[in-house]
Amino acid sequence: MPKEKQTYLRIYPGVPVLAWVWFPTKDVILKGEVYHFQNGMAGLTTSCALSNMWTDPKNSTRFQHPAKIGTAVLKSRAYVLTGEKQNLPRYAVYAHNHGNLVDMNDDKLITRIIQNHPEDLEREFEFRAVSDIKRKIKPSVRKTNVGLRKPFYPRGAIARAVKAGLMSLQEAQKRAQESQDAYEMQRLMGMKRRK
């Protein structure tokens, strides 16, 4: 049985989502088709060409778990929605090196590739199994309530939405602020429960 944990994911523009995450042990190779890219939407993690590949019934025999609508692809990770567990979404996590296609999708450059070089899109795309990364956290300066927050740099799903013009930088900053506030509240609630 693959390792599984409950965590907050930032795969949609906005506040983090509490979900179950598990780590498959086998790599997956999906077959890309031009229609995956024609139907991909810029800036949306769940509707880009790579997420379309995961939910295409033609690719369903290439992996051992379900892939449902709601599968999200970021620049270096794919979060494949496999179902629910305890009323929370459950995702399988894969790594990939197709960040350049994610960027082109968000910059709306895919139509040029479809016109000029469709053979570049009709190929196999590898998604690698990843292990849960254990990082050694070094003590750092803790943020105080009177301190200022670091400058905002869009990441992940929010960066994709800003790049595609679906969200302004100001809206992204507001959502990041809300996300940070929600995280701080959860962290404080967890500390109170531990006491």
In tens, the pLDDT along 163-186 reads: 777 778 788 777 777 776 776 666
Every domain of the chain and the residues it spans = 4-129
For residue 96, the number of C-alpha atoms closer than 13 Å in the C-beta half-sphere is: 25
Q: Per residue in 57-101, pLDDT tens?
A: 999 999 989 899 888 888 889 999 999 999 999 999 999 998 888
Residue keyed to tokens 């196999």: 124
- Hey, which residues does 89 pair with through a beta bridge? 84
Banded model confidence at residue 2, pLDDT cuts 50, 70, 90? low
